[in-house]
Amino acid sequence: MTTIESPAVSAGGESLDAFLTTWAAAGEGRDNLARTIAGMAQAGIALSQIIAGGPLNGALGSEVGGQNADGDKQRQLDVIADGLIIDALRKTPTAYYASEEEEAILTLDPAGEYAVACDPLDGSSNIDCNMPIATIFGVFRATPGDATASFFRKGEEQVAAGYVIYGPQTGLLLTLGEGVAHFTLDPATHRFILVSRNVRIAPSTREYAINASNYRHWPDPIRAFIDDCVEGEGGPHGKDFNMRWLACMIGDAHRIFSRGGVFLYPGDDRPGYQRGRLRLLYEAFPVAMLVEQAGGGATDGVERILSKKLDKLHQRTPLVFGSIEKVARIASYFSDAHFERAHSPLFGERGLFHN
């Protein structure tokens, strides 16, 4: 089931600016949100041009000697991306900005109407490999005069979310709470052109994305689900599966939006990984909104992602998202005693990489 439509479009197709203008005209008070989204898109276009030049634009993947707010090493392109986005949002009605690259919330325009949460560059380890990298963002209505309250809320309070993926094409997936639209950057005009108004995720799948090298660290429900997939036609799923892993969550997400699939990044027993490694505010929340708007599901294994409330700015979360049937199946491995495999041959005699 192909879910991102790809009709032939030309530079004369509907642009993102035209799409936002039409959307804003359809309801009162939408202009400022449209301006905020347009600002994020402009930052993505500028970043796309830098990425396209690769090493011709300097050592973009080199470490700059510092760490971001979450303790990860910063790379040159991380810093560039963060700066481009801040500059773009200063021209929009954005009151507050929360970023993976910033220790604290930034105030951009105290009179602004929106609060933008952003991972400026998802998949930084791929910079020098010519593999997918991305920008992720979620938008909330700002709480006047209170930067903390603008973000410390449930994910379902987002009013918009999206990502820009930099790959063979630069793509933008966007939701304004009315489904998911897909745009592709026209390299001739440097405009995002609409290619689908209604992206839908296939409800079932034969593909999963997970870093299988961590198998020994996973909780039992995740290992049980993967073991069952590896059994293929003879297992409880009754079909064979393929595994994919791009080390860029949005790279895997874009494939899931295109043809279905499920992405898993669980918490595990390694120090610092007990609550996973993905950030709730600016990674899980935006992706979960997009996925649900496209008919998929997103959970931490126990709780719906968009029902979770942020308690710490750079809070981490386990994350499973994608085709609704498989997300529900994985959640059942956590909740249903029938899926407890502690004493099963799946663990006692055989595992993902066992003979």
123 annotated to bind ligand: yes
196 annotated to bind ligand: no
CB burial class (10 A; 0-12, 13-18, 19+) of residue 285?
buried
- Match 């998911």 to its residue by tokens: 180
Among 79, 85, 136, 126, smallest CA distance to 284 is for 136
CB burial class (10 A; 0-12, 13-18, 19+) of residue 50?
middle
**Identity of the residue numbered 108:** L
122 annotated to bind ligand: yes
39 annotated to bind ligand: no
**Identity of the residue numbered 258:** S
φ, ψ (nearest 5 deg) of residue 176: -110, 25
27 annotated to bind ligand: no
Query: Which residues in 129-142 are b (16+ Cβ under 10 Å) and which e?
Result: eeebbbbbbbbbbb
| CA atoms of 37 and 138, how far apart (whole Å) | 10
**Identity of the residue numbered 219:** P
The two three-digit tokens of residue 279, written as one number: 């950030």
DSSP H/E element including 186: strand 180-186
HSE (CB half, 13 Å, CA atoms) of 315?
20
φ, ψ (nearest 5 deg) of residue 299: -145, 160
99 annotated to bind ligand: no
235 annotated to bind ligand: no
119 annotated to bind ligand: yes
48 annotated to bind ligand: no
Q: Which residues contribute to the annotated binding site? A: 100, 119, 121-125, 211, 283
Q: Which residues contribute to the annotated binding site for Mg(2+)? A: 100, 119, 121-122, 283
Q: Which residues contribute to the annotated binding site for substrate? A: 122-125, 211
